[in-house]
Structure 1
Amino acid sequence: MVESHFQIFSVEWDHVQSAFTVTIWILVASVAKILFHVNKKFGDALPDSACLIVVGLGVGYFLTKLNVDKSIFQLDSTSFFLYLLPPIIFDAGYFMPNRQLFDNLDSVMLFAFVGTIFNTLAIASTLYIFGIWGYFSVQFNLFEILLFSSLISAVDPVAVIAVFEEIHINEFLFINVFGEALFNDGAAVVLYFMFKKFNYIGAHNLITSDYVAGGVSFIFIALGGIFIGLFFAGICSFVTKYTDPVKILAPVLIFAFPYLAYLTAEMFGVSAIFAIIACGVAMKEYVKGNITHEANTSVKYLTKLLALSAETVIFMFLGLSTISSSHKWDTYFVVITIISCFIYRTLGVIIQCTILNQFRTKQFTSVDQFVLSYGGLRGAIAFGLAVSMPEMIAAKSMFVTTTITVIFFTVFIQGITIRPLLNWLNVEKADERQITLVENIYNRYFDYTMTGIEDVAGQRGKNSIRQMYERINAKVLKPILMKSYEKRIFDASQIVRAYKKITLQEAMEVIKQGQIPPLPSTPIKTPTQKQEFNFETQKCENSNSVPTASIEMDALYQMFSQLLDRKVEEIRGAYKNEQTVAMEQSDVDIADDYIEMMRPTHFLSSPDLTIHPLPKTENFHRQQSHPNVSSKIAKF
C-alpha cells in the first residue's frame, strides 16, 4: 500500500496481533485467578485448571463475537512441544521432592510405565471392538485408536498438584500420585510417537521385526532421554560452580541447560520429557550450592512464572477451541471413552497395589487406592497431544472433541468433588508440624542404622543403595560439581543448612526486637575428655581411637555449642551491617519442593523458627550435663 501523505500516527495491528493477543490472555487469566481466590466461594470450589478453562471459554466466546481471525486459536504441534510443554515439565521436575521420590521409586515407576501401557491397550481394545460393532460415526484403524488411547492416558501433573496442594494430602499419597502423573506423561508421549510412526508406515507394511523394534525403542527412548538429562545436569552444575565473577548469569544457565537437554533429546528422537525431568531433578541439589540465595529465589520464581504462563496459554487454547473450533460429536464414543478411562485406571491401580503390598512395609490401603484412581485428572498434556495429531487421520475432530470432554469431566467433576470425598473418607493429611533439628539429626542416624542392619542381614535394600549413593555423592560428585566443597566420607551439609535457616530467622527476630544477646561463655568441655569439633570438615577429633556412646554425645553437644556461638556472632554482624531488609525479603520465598509447599507452616512462607528449650519432662541423654547447650537446640 502506497501512502500519499506522511502520517504522524498509525495502527499496526497485524504486526503485533499474535503477541498482543497472547499477552492479553495471560493478563486476563492472571486477573481471573486473583478474583477467583479473593472470592473464597469460587476459589475453594474450583481447581486452578478449572478457573483457567472457564476464562478460556469466556475469552473464546468474546473473540468469536468480534470475528477475530480463528487462525490464532489453533495450537500447532511445534509451539506446544518446543515452547509450552518444557516449562511445565521442568517446573514439576525441579520442585520434585527427591528423597520422597526415591523412597517410593518402585511404586511410582510401576504406576507410570506399566499402568500407562495397561490403560492404553485396554482403552484402545475396548474402543476398537465397539468400532468394529459399528457404534461410532467415524471409522478408524487400530493404530489411530492406539494413538488416541495413549494421549488420553496422559495424566496432567499440574492439575494433580493444584488439587492435592489445596487439601494438604499426606506425603506418601502425594508423591505417588504426583510422581506417577509426571513420569506417566513421558511414557504416554513415547507411546504416542511410537504409534504415530506405526500409523505412518501402515498396518499392511509392518512385519514382526517392526513390532519388536517398537518395543525395544520404548526402553531405548526412555533411557536415552534420562541419560541426556543427567549429562546436561552435570554440565550445568559444573559451569555454575564458576559463576561467582558474573553471578547474574547463573539463572540464565540454569534455564538454558535443561531446555538444551530437551531440544537435544528431541533432535535425537529420544524422550525429551524424561530428559528435562532428569535434568531438573539431578541438577537442583548442586546448583543451589553454587549460586547465591537471591539467584536461587529468582530461579524458583521464574520457573513458576514460566510454567504458569505456559499452562495458562494451553488452557486458554482449550477454552478457545471449545468455542471456536468445528467439532465432531459422537455420544457413544465420548461416553465409552470416559467410562473406560475410569474403569481401567481403577482396575490397574487395584492390581498394581495388590502386587506392591506383597513387598512393601508401607501398604496401600483401600482409601489410598481410591485416591490414586480418582486422582487421574487429564489436562494440558492430553489436549496438546490431541491437537498435534496428523491431519491425515479422519477421526481427528472426533478425537479432539472427546479429549476436551474428558478433560472437562475430570477437571470439573473429579477436581471439584475430590476435596469433599477426601474429607468424608478422613484421608490422612500432611503433617503440618515443623521437624526439629534434633529429629532431623536422629532421622539420619536411623538411616545409617537401617543400612547397617541390611549389611548384617546380607540384603541390599533401598537404605544401602541410598547410603552408597550418598558416599559417592560426598566423595566424588559434590567436590566436582559444587564450589568450596571438600571430599569427605560423611556429609553434614543438611545440619549446616538447617543451622543457617535458624541463624537467618533468629537474627531477623532479634533485630526487630532490638535485643542483642550477650556473648556466650567459654566453650564447653566434657569432664572426661576434651572434644574438638572441626566445623569445616564435620569431623570429631579425639585422642582415643574407639569412641563410646557417651563421647559421641558429648561431641554432638560440642558441635551444637559451636554452631550456636557462631550464630550469636552472625546476629551481631547482621545488626551492625543493617541487613534487616534482606532478611525480611526471605520471608516471601518459595519452598524448595512440593512437599514443603503443602506445609502451611514451612519455613519460608510462615516461619516459626524461634528457639525453644526442650521440655523438662523429656528424658534427653546427658541433658543435665550441658544445660546451656540443650536449651539452645532450635526448631527449623
Structure 2
Amino acid sequence: IILESAYSLHDRTFFANIATILLYAIIGTFINVILIAISLNICAQAGFFGPNIPMMECAIFATLISAVDPVAVLTIFQEVNVNKSLYFLVFGESLLNDAVVVTLYSTISKLILIEYISANEIIIGFLGLLVISFGGVILGALIGVFTALATLYTEDVRVVEPLIVIMMAYLSYVIAELFHFSGIISLTTCGLVQAEYARNNLSKKSRTTIKYMTKTLSSIADVIIFLFLGIVLVRENHIWNTNFVIYTTVFCVVYRFLSVFALTYCANNYFQRVRVIDFEEQLIMAYGGLRGAIAFCLSAALNSDDTPNAQMFTTTTLLIVLFTVYVLGSTVKPAVRVLRIQIQAKQDTRKLFLALNDRVIETIMSAIEEISGQRSMNYWMVRIRF
C-alpha cells in the first residue's frame, strides 16, 4: 500500500507543494496528537469515561487515531477528480502523516513501559524519533539510488526489471526495520527516488508491469485489512464506552479542522506559494481526514498488558474508521459540488504547450534567482530532477 502510494506521488505538483505537505504531515500530526491526548486526559480526570485513563495511554491512542488512510483518500479524491494541487496536498499529507504516526507510535510504545518518565526520557525519546525518521530517509534514498544505478545495466534483461525495482523497495523496508529505523519512511523515500531516477531506465513494458502490479497488490492488501476489520467488528469481546467514543470522534473532527485552518494560514502567508489555498479547499482538506487501515492495525497491535484499555481503544477505533469512511467519505463528492471546488479536466489536449510553458517558466525563474541571489522552491525542484 505504501509503495504504490509513493509511486503515485511522483508528479511535479507534489514537489511544488512539498513544503506545505510536510507542514501538514509533521506539524499538523503533532498538533492533533497533543490536543487529542490532552483533551482525553482532561475528560478522564473529570470522570467522563468512568475509570481513569493514564496520560500515556491517552497519548498512544491519540497517536494511532491521528493516522489518515492514504488508500481511502486516494480512492475518493480520484473519483471526485479534484484539481491536482488539492489532490496532492491531501494525498501527500495522508501518506507522510502515516509515516510520522507509526514512528511516533513506536516511540510512545517504549515510553509507556517506563513507570516514571523524567525530562531525560522525553529528550531521549525525541532524539530517537529524529534518528528513526532521518535514518529511514537516508536509507531509502540510498537504496533508491542503487536501484537507479542497477537499472542502467538491464538493457539486455528487461524481464528482471520489475523484480529488481519491487525487491529493492521491499529491501529498503526490511533493512530499515532491521536497524530500527522507520520502515514506512524508508519505503516512501525509496519509492519516490525510484520513480524519479530509475523510471527512465526501464522499458515501457516494465513500467506498465510495475504500475499495475503495485496497484493490484495494494488493492489486495487493503481488502485483506478491511476483512480483518470486519472480523474484529463482529467479535463479542468489545468494551463499549459511549462517552469515550463520542468525545474522541468530536475531538478528531474539530482538531482536524483547527489544524488545517491554522497551518494553511501559515502556508498562505509565510511560504512562497504561487497558488493560495482558498477557504473552500481548506474545508475539503479538513473533511478528507479519513481514518482507515493504519489506525486499525496500530490499535490491533496494542498489548493489553502494557495498555489495560487496549480493547476499548480498538472498539473506538473501529467506530471512528466506519464513521469517517462511510459518513465523511460518502459525502465528500456532494461537498465538492456544493463548495464549487475547481475540478481537473479529464483530458488535456494542450500537453505539449503546457510542457513547453513549464520549461520556459523554470528557465526564467532560474535566471531571476541567479541575478537576485535568492533561492525559491523552483531551484530545489530543478536540482532534484537533474
TM range (shorter): over 0.9
Say if 2:316 is the partner of 1:402: yes
User: What does 1:404-483 align with in structure 2 at a 5 Å threshold?
Assistant: 404-432=318-346, 433-470=348-385, 473=386
SS of equivalent to 2:50:
coil
1:82 aligns to what? Answer: none
Structure 1 equivalent of residue 263 of structure 2: 352
Q: Which residue pairs with 1:558 in the alignment? A: none
DSSP 3-state at the match of 1:429: coil
Instruction: State the match for 1:183 in structure 2.
Output: 96
Residue matched to 2:289: 376
Deviation at 1:145, TM superposition (A): 1.2
Deviation at 1:244, TM superposition (A): 2.9
Aligned length in residues: 382
Structure 2 residue aligned with 1:340: 251
SS in 2 for 1:358: helix
- Give the whole-Å Cα distance in 2 for the aligned partners of 1:439 and 1:268: 44
Match of 1:305 among 205, 216, 220: 216
Instruction: Give yes or no for contact 1:455–1:464 (8 Å, CA) kept in 2.
Output: no
Instruction: State the match for 1:253 in structure 2.
Output: 164
Cα distance in 2 for partners of 1:390, 1:319 equals: 20
Matched with 2:198 is: 287
Matched, 1:262 2:176: no
Q: Which runs of 5+ in 1 are unaligned?
A: 1-87, 474-636
The answer to whether the 8 Å contact 1:232/1:261 transfers is yes
Distance 1:186 1:385 in 2: 12
User: How far 1:295 moved relative to its partner?
Assistant: 1.8
Structure scoring higher RCO (CA < 8 A, sep ≥ 6) equals 2
- State TM-score, norm by structure 2: 0.96
Q: Cα deviations across residues 472-519 of structure 1 (Å, max 9, x unaligned)? A: x2xxxxxxxxxxxxxxxxxxxxxxxxxxxxxxxxxxxxxxxxxxxxxx
Shift of 1:100: 1.3
**Amino acid paired to 1:126:** S
Report the CA distance between 1:177 and its aligned residue: 0.4
Gaps of 5+ in 2: none
Q: Secondary structure at the match of 1:377?
A: coil
Secondary structure in structure 2 of the residue aligned to 1:335: helix
Q: Distance in 2 between matches of 1:266 and 1:131?
A: 35
Deviations 1:130-175 (CA, angstroms, capped at 9, x unpaired) = 1111111343321111011000000000000111000100111111
Shift of 1:325: 4.8
The offset of 1:455, in angstroms, is: 2.1
Q: Deviation of residue 355 (structure 1)?
A: 1.0
| Secondary structure in structure 2 of the residue aligned to 1:343 | helix
CA contact (8 A) 1:383 1:400 kept: yes
Is the CA contact (8 Å cut-off) linking 2:140 and 2:186 kept in structure 1? yes
- Encode CA deviations 1:186-221: one digit per residue, 9 max, x unaligned: 11111111110000122x1x3221111111222221
Separation of aligned partners in 2, 1:365 and 1:442: 25
Higher Cα Rg, which structure: 1
Q: Which has more helix, going by share of residues?
A: 2
- Runs of 4+ with >6 A deviation: none
Structure 2 counterpart of 1:230: 141
Q: TM-score, normalised by structure 1?
A: 0.59
For residue 403 of structure 1, what is the amino acid of its counterpart?
Answer: T
Which residue of the other structure, out of 45, 59, 80, is the alignment partner of 1:167? 80
CA contact (8 A) 2:229 2:318 kept: yes
- Give the whole-Å Cα distance in 2 for the aligned partners of 1:331 and 1:107: 36
> 1:323 aligned to 234, 239, 259, which one?
234
d(CA) in 2 for partners of 1:183 and 1:436? 29
Task: Tell me the SS of whatever aligns to 2:194.
Answer: helix
Does the 8 A contact of 1:232 with 1:257 survive in 2?
yes
* Aligned residue identity for 2:374: Q
- How far, CA to CA, are the matches of 2:255 and 2:77 in structure 1? 22
- Contact 1:240 1:290 survives alignment (8 Å): yes
* Distance in 1 of aligned mates of 2:190 and 2:182: 12
Equivalent residue for 1:221? 132
Letter in 1 for 2:317: T
The alignment partner of 2:156 has SS state of: helix
Q: Which residue of 2 aligns with 1:92?
A: 5
One-letter code aligned to 1:193: S
- Give the drift of 1:97: 2.9
Identity %: 33
- Change in Cα spacing, 1:307 to 1:287, as seen in structure 2 (3 Å) is same
